Chain A
Amino acid sequence: MSAHQWQAAVGTWPRRSSLGVRGLGRSPAFLIGAAVLLFWVVDAVAWPLLVPYDPQAVAPAETLQAPSAEHWFGTDDLGRDVFSRVLAGATSVLTVAPAAALLAVAVGVAIGLAAGYLGGAIDEVLMRVTDALLAFPLVVGAVLVLAVTGVSRLHLVVVIALVLAPLTARTVRAAVRNEREREYVEAARLRGDSGAYIMVAEILPNVAAIVVAESTTRLAAAIFAASTLSFLGLGIEQPSPDWGLSVALGRVFLQTAPWIVLFPALALATLVVGATAVADGLRLRIER
């Protein structure tokens, strides 16, 4: 008997339809990710209570000190406490990134719903536009837009959202096309419901889970994007303790004082990985 038959025999087994939130609680990756994410969110709000030093306080006598009991993460070229700056640096990325992710998902859901449900020429046009946006590298697009509009938090949010929205649009469109094939949509048409009603009231609740997973995935990407832009000097400006900016400015001391770069970079990494772990957990839960 062949492998295919075995597969088929197993395939007749009813799939576990719902795993419940308990399922998520059993996934260590999800739990650790959620804890890390929660830590940084709390920190972004409450850092003034947590920092041992003022992150902006310049101390000419204490520049480029290695990590010690006094300065856990050492000091930078201006004598500022790196530990305090790392804690304070979460705020800027966590104001821009969630807003950008939310905007990206909102735009992406709208485009995905319309393209997936209406199909035809509208689908063609919307998808070609998103393809074009997808083809633009983040940095090139951001440089172009921010050069014209000038750098501000709002512009950063919009630029990052524009870059991320096409991915969400594609995912949502695929899910909507699946739903559209189901007869409940036809039943709604038979009772005379409008296309807008069907999209929002009938289909959207059924793709909500996918939208939630999309949001966390896009959050991780938005965090990364925001930090990349500030590293390139296109985002947050001096003297913010923003991580991307700190890495960029500390680069020249990499040989002599690597901790200036290392700790903000690690902080960024934990945040991105944490958000990704949460996103993966949610996605697996939905796909099951």
Chain B
Amino acid sequence: MTTTQDRPAALDVAGLSVSYARRGRVRALVDVSLRIERGETYGLVGESGSGKTTLALTLMRHLPRAARIDGGRILLGGDDLLGAPERTVRRWRGRRIALVPQGAGSALNPSLRVGTQIAEVYRAHGDLLPAEAAEAAARTLNEVRVGDPAQVLRRYPHELSAGQQQRVLIAMALAANPEVLILDEPTTALDATVEAEVLDLIEALQDEIDAAILLISHDVRIVARLCDRAGMLYAGRLLEEGPTEDVFRAPRHPYTVALLRCVPRLDASGTPERLEPIPGRSPDLAAELRGCSFAERCPLVRPRCHEEAPAASSVADDWTSRCHFHADVPTLETAGVSLNGKPPAHDGAPLLRVEGLSKTYHGGEARVEAVADVSFELRQGEVLGLVGESGSGKTSVARCIAGLAEPSRGSLELDGRELPWALRERPREARTAVQMVFQNPDAALNRAVTVGGILRRSLRRLAGDRERGHAALYDLSSLVHLSPSDLELRPRALSGGMKQRVAIARSFAGSPRVVVCDEPVSDLDVSVQAAILNLVRDLREREGVSYLFISHDLAVVRYVADRIGVMYLGSLVELGPAATLFDPPHHPYTEALVSAVPTLPPDEQRPRITMYGPLPSPRQPPPGCRFHTRCPRFLGDVCRTVEPPWQQHVDGHRYRCHIAPRDLGGLQRADRLAGRPPLRSELTTV
């Protein structure tokens, strides 16, 4: 971060504007300026459509043909990037500026070994013999903390875990020791604990490499943890930028305030009782925009905002805000009431009882036990959250309960009466009673049918009513805040959040008792996610419905759920009230999950608990306790051989472990206070 004045910044973007020829001209970036010094990390926060990816592509001089640079300049270490001839730029790519693209899974060539792909980078830079390139590849993998590089080099991308794939990509970008490293959504689609590991790696790299890092993310928590400076990109305009700590502690642009209020947090003290989604939608970038791009959604809006686009005004030395009234922003309330004020868990009667649910998939020789002996009950009017990482079996549980998959064993009761697993055996009332909302709103709506058509069909099949037709449709759409004109549209014309509203409305067509939500907000932007989460909570109050709410995001589950179940490798390892689950004593796996969630502001004191080794294959789950191979609180042989018992902690809170609540709580609290992660070797005796 310390630079001498005469040395040019590693990356200096000034007044950059980019547009696309599509429906007239879509202005993707408007007058964007930012500077990153060597050794500095700059976080660019933006929701989908904000222009993040366009900026990354412009910096790589890799814009699609329909794009046009309307103005501005980019200096790469003082050299003009936009004016340089293509041949020169080609030489710079990788050597001077490198990009780690989004989506590690598709960014690697599936038919080439990892070693070949990394070595190719070295060879492309021209100065190494094949043998030297291979050696260099192994060295880079070491740098990005890949265990056993020699092994990994021989593998194909699909044989690597998502975290390893991401590391390999980072290694490839670092290969030529670039001056500027762009990380485009480096942890999107990764599980929480894997995300934490990748963030740890980036943090470590910050000390080791001298490059300027541009980290592009939709997640303010990640930017807050890793970046020196932060910029808020909205509708192609950089609305606020400055030192991360200042920007997030005392924002000076209403958009920053609004975005922070949408983020559910684990640190209970900071979370408002109710998230506040940003009203309205982002502006149409193809339309002429005279005033401030955020004016339509801004709580501080005044007539001037519609008339005159705000210039970047200086808040402090290195802190700017594109708001006419940035001095008034601190009057906006930034944090509301804490989560502790949330209504107590519903103590309703048991509504749905799942007993001994197991689901085994057979594929040729392989036998995968996706769900192993899971039992729980869902009470009347309750939100039961189910968390776990990919492969934990939570989606299988959801699909079995909804009737879309048939389990190998187990029984299901609704209202004390047995409910058949198979959908076609369920009577109509039971079918109506259990409905489901899916993760991907694009795939969940038939794109050939209008919104009205989708809802009408559900009303007819689930509510069985024909007479009320129009009134029922109106009621249903207003339940999820859809306007009558939306009913004419086809899904393609809807935003992600509106699609998910339609999907939710569909599940409520026949007054359901239980709605199974499988990751309903993971594909949505933060501001939209907040609106959907609020809708889910409101519908519970209004309709008295119970939810089984599945998510990989603990903060989201914490926000909506009364009770939470934690799944690991097909089995339920912990079940308890949301209020006690996040504090010791809790299952060592839960402990690791909780510690992996980034907080806002970042908590330097909190130890990150690393799990050991890779996730075991579900084809051969470990004997004894399924978690023993990775458990940071591993005891010894008993964990390897004996299936752990359920330990009762307080009323309604239980977990499966050999360590009793008193001992486990003591250990976990002590480590938390000391700010140190547990050490497996020390824990052989309790």
A-side residues, CB < 8 A to B, are: 1-6, 8-13, 17, 181-184, 186-193, 202, 205-206, 208
Whether B440 pairs with A183 at a CB distance below 8 angstroms is yes
Q: List 12 A-B contacts (CB under 8 A).
A: A1-B94, A1-B124, A1-B173, A2-B117, A4-B107, A4-B117, A5-B172, A6-B62, A184-B445, A186-B438, A191-B462, A192-B461
* Distance from A249 Cβ to chain B, minimum over Cβ atoms (Å): 50
Q: In angstroms, how far is the closest chain A Cβ from the Cβ of B127?
A: 15
Alpha-carbon gap, A8 to B503, bound state (A)? 31
CA–CA, A191 to B512, complex, Å?
11
Do residues A5 and B169 form an inter-chain contact, with CB atoms below 8 A?
A: yes
Q: Are B448 and A183 in contact (CB under 8 A)?
A: no
Contacts of B597-640 to chain A: CB distance below 8 A: none
Let me know if B384 is at the binding interface, CB within 8 A.
no
* B172 adjacent to A184 (CB under 8 Å): no
A12→B121 contact, CB < 8 A: no
Report chain B residues within 8 Å CB of A183: 438-440, 443-444
Judged by a CB distance under 8 angstroms, whether B254 is at the interface is no
Q: How far is the CA of A13 from the CA of B510 in the complex (A)?
A: 40
In Å, the complex CA distance between A23 and B106 comes to 29
Contact A190 B124 (CB under 8 A): no
Residue of B nearest to A4 (CB): B109
Q: Does B252 belong to the interface (CB within 8 Å)?
A: no
| B446 in contact with A12 (CB, 8 Å) | no
Q: Which of B56, B93, B120, B461 contacts A193 (CB 8 A)?
A: B461
* A209, B173: Cα distance in complex, Å: 41
B64 within 8 A of A: yes
B235: interface (CB < 8 Å)? no
Q: Does B403 contact A (CB under 8 A)?
A: yes
B contact residues vs A (CB 8 Å cutoff): 53, 56-57, 60, 62, 64, 93-94, 98-99, 101-103, 106-109, 112, 117, 120-121, 124, 169, 172-173, 176, 184, 402-404, 423, 428, 431, 435-436, 438-440, 443-449, 457-458, 461-462, 492, 503, 506-507, 509-510
Known: A1-B176, A183-B439, A186-B436. 14 other contacts (CB 8 A): A1-B173, A3-B120, A8-B106, A9-B57, A9-B60, A9-B62, A12-B102, A184-B446, A191-B506, A192-B423, A202-B449, A205-B446, A206-B446, A206-B447
Q: Which 5 residue pairs spanning A and B have beta carbons closest together?
A: A1-B94, A8-B107, A205-B448, A183-B444, A183-B438
Given A11-B106, A186-B438, A190-B402: A2 and B121 within 8 A (CB)?
yes
CB neighbours (8 Å) of B461 from chain A are: 191-193
Which chain A residues border B436 with CB–CB below 8 Å? 186-187, 190
Contact at A12–B53, with CB atoms within 8 Å? yes
B169, B423, B431, B446 — most chain A CB neighbours (10 Å): B446
B457 pairs with A190, CB closer than 8 A = no
- Choose one: A5, A17, A191; the contact of B101 (CB below 8 Å): A5
Query: With a CB–CB cut-off of 8 A, which chain B residues contact A208?
Result: 448
A160 to B458, CA, bound (A): 42
Which of B109, B121, B423 is within 8 Å of A190, CB to CB? B423
Of all chain A residues, which has the CB nearest B516? A190
- Cβ–Cβ contact A1 & B93, under 8 A: yes
**Cα A2 to Cα B157 with chains together (Å):** 15
For the complex, what is the distance from the CA of A54 to the CA of B481, rounded to whole Å?
Answer: 71
Return the chain A residue nearest B445 by Cβ: A184
Task: Please tell me if the beta carbons of A8 and B103 are within 8 angstroms of each other in the complex.
Answer: yes
In the bound complex, what is the Cα–Cα distance between A11 and B124 (angstroms)? 21
User: What's the Cα separation between A190 and B428 when bound, in Å?
Assistant: 10
A2-B121, A191-B431, A192-B428 are contacts. A9–B101 as well, Cβ < 8 Å?
A: yes
A202 touches B446 (CB 8 A): yes
Please indicate the chain A residues that have their CB under 8 angstroms from the CB of B98 in the complex. Answer: 1
Residues in B with CB closer than 8 Å to A12 are 53, 101-103, 184
Expressed in whole angstroms, the minimum distance between the Cβ of A145 and any Cβ of chain B is 38
CA distance A182 to B120 in the complex (A): 37
Residues B107 and A13 in contact, CB atoms below 8 Å apart? no
Q: Which residues of B contact A187 (CB under 8 A)?
A: 436, 438, 444, 503, 506
**CA distance in complex: A5, B102 (Å):** 10
A10 touches B62 (CB 8 A): yes
| A258 vs chain B, min Cβ distance (A) | 48
A9 vs chain B, min Cβ distance (A): 5
Tell whether, in the assembled complex, residue B423 and residue A13 are in contact, meaning their CB atoms are under 8 Å apart.
no
Please report the C-alpha to C-alpha distance between residue A193 and residue B457 in the assembled complex, in whole angstroms.
9
Nearest Cβ distance between residue B262 and chain A, in whole angstroms? Answer: 24
CA distance A14 to B313 in the complex (A): 33
Enumerate chain A residues within 8 angstroms of B99, measured Cβ to Cβ.
1, 5, 9
Bound Cα distance A202, B453 (Å) = 11
For residue B62, which residues in chain A have a CB less than 8 angstroms away from its CB? 6, 9-10
Measured in the bound complex, the distance between the Cα atoms of B70 and A88 in whole Å is: 59
How long is the Cα–Cα vector from A244 to B108 in the complex, in angstroms? 53
The distance in angstroms between the C-alpha atoms of A12 and B124, with both chains bound, is 23
B438, A191: Cβ atoms closer than 8 Å: no
A42 CB to closest chain B CB (Å) equals: 33
A2 cross-chain contacts in B, Cβ below 8 A: 117, 120-121, 124, 172
Smallest beta-carbon distance B211→chain A, Å:
14
Question: What residues of chain A lie closer than 8 Å to B443, measured between beta carbons?
Answer: 181-184
B98 to chain A, nearest CB (A): 6
Cβ of B169: which chain A residues have Cβ within 8 Å of it?
Answer: 5
> What residues on B are CB-neighbors of A206 within 8 Å?
446-448
